[in-house]
Chains A and B, each alone.
Chain A
Amino acid sequence: MNRENAIAILLLTILVFLFPQLTTDNYILTVGIFIGINSIVAIGLTILMGYAGQISLGQAGFYGIGAYVSAILSLSYGLPVMLSIITAIAVASIAATLLAIPSLRLKGHYLAVATLGFGEIIHIIINEWGPGGPSGFGDIPHFSIFGYTLQSTVEYFYLIWICIILIMIFSLNLLNSMTGKALRAIHDSEIATLTLGINITFLKIKVFVLSAVYASLAGALYAHYVTFLSPSGFSLFYSVLVLMMVVIGGISNIWGGIAGAIIITILPEVLRGFKEFDILMYGLILTLSLLFMRKGIVPMVIDVFRNKFLIKIRKNDA
């Protein structure tokens, strides 16, 4: 991890611990929790898109597997919540591996198409076979660790954002490791990477599974926080939303995932005042931001800072 990222992690940590001190408003904290949950999914997809150059239109599928498997195991089979979350993540990783092996063997964007199909199939399965069918089910146990059950909104806020800090540290280290460097090489030139003796397909599968792990973790956390699940939140629309978060946040920087999650999560809350206009405004804002902020917010902000900084240096030189 370089110095800039270490400082950013430190700032994020301070912000996470300060935030609940500044506001006790449950509504704001709840929005903060949802931003966090979406961020986890978006960070995974940013790594997949920005570093492995693959698109996934099925993150909702892994998100759904995480939520439903963990909820069902802890509710119907009485498994401890921690264990059911780990099992759910394992199930999602296996599904991701099985999906990735045939689709990543091929060149091009097969993964995008395959994941689209996969995500929708998971949605249909949840809808037909999930407990409660289309109307969903409740009474899912709250998150508990070492016999302590989390109840209040503040506790969940801390839980989810601590998860994000850990995920960010892990991801930044990963991207700085040999794996990360190999991934960046793939992004620049697949053939050149291949000649260096790097197994591209295996690496891509690894990253795809990682993104599925993040998505399923987010889904499981969602299930044990909200304690109620229905299939509507796990449709293609959610996958598209996550994709929007990543593109608007900026795929070339994994902080973009968090920035995009903040914007896309807050947007409907802000637009609630527009009533029937909300979908229209939503589409308009997405279209405009895609047209005019092509690189995404985080890389754009970084560029602006760098430019200012560079201009200063040049002035000093003169």
Chain B
Amino acid sequence: MTLLLQFLFSGLTTGSVYALVGIGFNIVYNSTSIINLAQGEFVVIGGLMMWFFLEGMQFPFSVSFSLTLLTAAVIGLIMERLTIKPLLKKGDLLLMIMVTIAISILIRGILMFKFGKDPYTYPAFTEGEPINFYGAVITQQTLWVIGITVLCIILLYLFFNKTMTGRAMRACSINIRAARLMGINVSKVVMLSFIISSVIGALGGIAITPISLMEYDKGAMLSVKGFCAAIMGGLGRNRGAVAGGFSIGILEALTAGYIHSGFKDAIALLIMLFILFVKPAGIFGKAEIMKLRKF
């Protein structure tokens, strides 16, 4: 029982990051129909840049935190303006998805050049004794990771439902042409979606690095897992991505704990294949919406 609880919490922790990556996929997907396969790289950018500012430059925590998010936002902005924007008019989805893959390799190359192949870490956000929960040991950083994820979800919900900009972005995800006719600046919405998804990815990276370390080549696997999470819950639905991310994280932890750690990575993919074949719209998705999609 204690062991099960322990696995559950470690699953929730990794699942949080998958959920954040999955949400990132959704935000970009909703405004552009693109699958941004560089999404996982922003988690790595978050972790490594945080180390750079915190340990390398010895900046205080809050400064490092803001600078890291700013860096991620700027990288997301540059990526969108230089590569996605010129291609968006052509409407060649395949090419745009390929470009995001190329950019993920480019980012990986830059990170390797700057940070080398070593894993990096920094101290947890708050010092203090781990909490004992019915025998399971929960570190404070675990709570931070889960807390930040939950906070992100709430803020995104408020943003997409209560603010004008958020509503404009939702309008674009429903019908981009109608949104344009209503006077919404679609180009700005696309730009904003890339910035938000980059920042969310970086947040996940900042939070998880003290627990699981960060190295330059973790992005690809994170992208795949986050994508599985998004597909599981129905692409484009944030609630779905969160549920998908958490369930993948927990199932992974259980597989690693009870079966064999080598098969941990297969779980997300098996679930994804299963969902695709059984209920392709995802657990929360609707089949009718599926038919209208370009990708």
Taking Cβ atoms with an 8 Å cutoff, the residues of A that contact B are 49, 55, 102-103, 106-110, 113-114, 116-118, 120-121, 124-125, 127-128, 236-237, 240, 243-244, 247, 276-284, 286-287, 290-291, 294
Kindly list chain A residues whose C-beta atoms are within 8 Å of the C-beta of B185.
none
Please give, as numbers and ranges, the residues of chain A lying within 8 Å of B224 by CB-CB distance: 116, 120, 236
Cα distance A55–B110 when bound, in Å? 28
Whether the pair A121, B86 counts as a contact (CB closer than 8 A) is no
Nearest A residue to B110 by beta-carbon distance?
A: A280
**Which partner residue on chain B sits nearest A134 by CB separation?**
B262
B100 to chain A, nearest CB (A): 10
Given contacts A114-B277, A290-B102, 6 further A-B contacts (CB under 8 A): A108-B293, A114-B273, A117-B273, A243-B101, A247-B98, A279-B109
A103-B277 in contact (CB<8A): yes
Query: What's the dominant secondary structure at chain B's contact region?
Result: helix
Task: Judge whether B272 and A113 touch: CB under 8 Å.
Answer: yes
Contacts of B231 in A (CB 8 A): 113
Is there contact, CB below 8 Å, between B103 and A283?
yes
B263 within 8 A of A: yes
Q: Is the CB of A124 within 8 A of B263?
A: yes
Q: How far is the CA of A118 from the CA of B227 in the complex (A)?
A: 14
A244 is contacted by which of B83, B98, B290 (Cβ under 8 Å)?
A: B98
* Interface of chain A: mostly helix, strand, loop or mixed: helix
Chain A: minimal CB distance from B229 (Å):
13
What is the 8 Å Cβ interface bit string for chain B, positions 28-54, against chain A (1 contact, 0 not)? 000000000000000000000000000
B191 within 8 A of A: no
| Residue numbers in A under 8 Å from B272 (CB-CB) | 113, 117
B277 to chain A, nearest CB (A): 4
Assess A281 versus B269: contact at CB under 8 Å? Given A108-B293, A290-B98.
no
In the complex, which of the residues B94, B108, B109, B277 contacts A102, with contact meaning CB atoms closer than 8 Å? B277
Contact B109 A280 (CB under 8 A): yes
The answer on a CB contact under 8 Å between B291 and A107 is yes
Interface string of B217-231 (1 = CB under 8 A from A): 000100010011001
Task: Decide: B94 and A110 in contact? CB cutoff 8 A.
Answer: no
CB atoms of A243 and B109 under 8 A apart:
no
A110 and B276 within 8 A (CB): yes
B108 touches A279 (CB 8 A): yes
Smallest distance from the beta carbon of A271 to chain B beta carbons, Å?
A: 10
Q: Whole-angstrom distance between the alpha carbons of A107 and B270 in the complex?
A: 21
Interfacial chain B residues near A107, Cβ < 8 Å: 290-291
Q: A103 vs B83: C-alpha distance in the bound complex, in angstroms?
A: 30
Do the beta carbons of B94 and A247 come within 8 Å of each other?
Answer: yes
Decide if B99 is an interface residue (CB 8 Å cutoff).
yes
Interface centre among A106, A114, A116, A287 (most CB of B within 10 A): A287
Inter-chain contacts of A49 with B (CB < 8 A): 94
Query: A247: which B residues are within 8 A, CB to CB?
Result: 94-95, 98
Q: Which residues of A lie under 8 Å from residue B295 when comparing CB positions?
A: 108-109
Residue in B83, B227, B280 whose beta carbon sits within 8 Å of that of A106 in the complex: B280
Interface pairs (10), CB distance under 8 Å? A103-B276, A113-B272, A117-B276, A121-B273, A128-B263, A277-B113, A282-B105, A283-B106, A286-B105, A287-B99
Q: Mask for B176-190, Cβ within 8 A of A = 1, else 0?
A: 000000000000000
Complex Cα distance, B3 from A10, in Å, reads 67
- Within 8 Å by CB of A120, from B92, B99, B266, B291, lies B266
Q: Which residue of B lies closest to A240 (CB)?
A: B101
- Which residues of B in the span 258-295 have a Cβ within 8 Å of any Cβ on A? 260, 262-263, 265-266, 269-270, 272-273, 276-277, 280, 290-291, 293-295
Q: Which residues of A contact B105 (CB under 8 A)?
A: 279, 282-283, 286
Q: Is B155 an interface residue (CB 8 A)?
A: no
Residue in A121, A287, A291 whose CB lies within 8 Å of B269: A121
Smallest CB separation, A255 vs chain B (Å):
19
Complex: A118 Cα to B86 Cα, angstroms: 33
Least CB separation from A279: chain B residue: B109
Please give the distance in Å from A204's CB to the nearest CB on chain B. Answer: 16
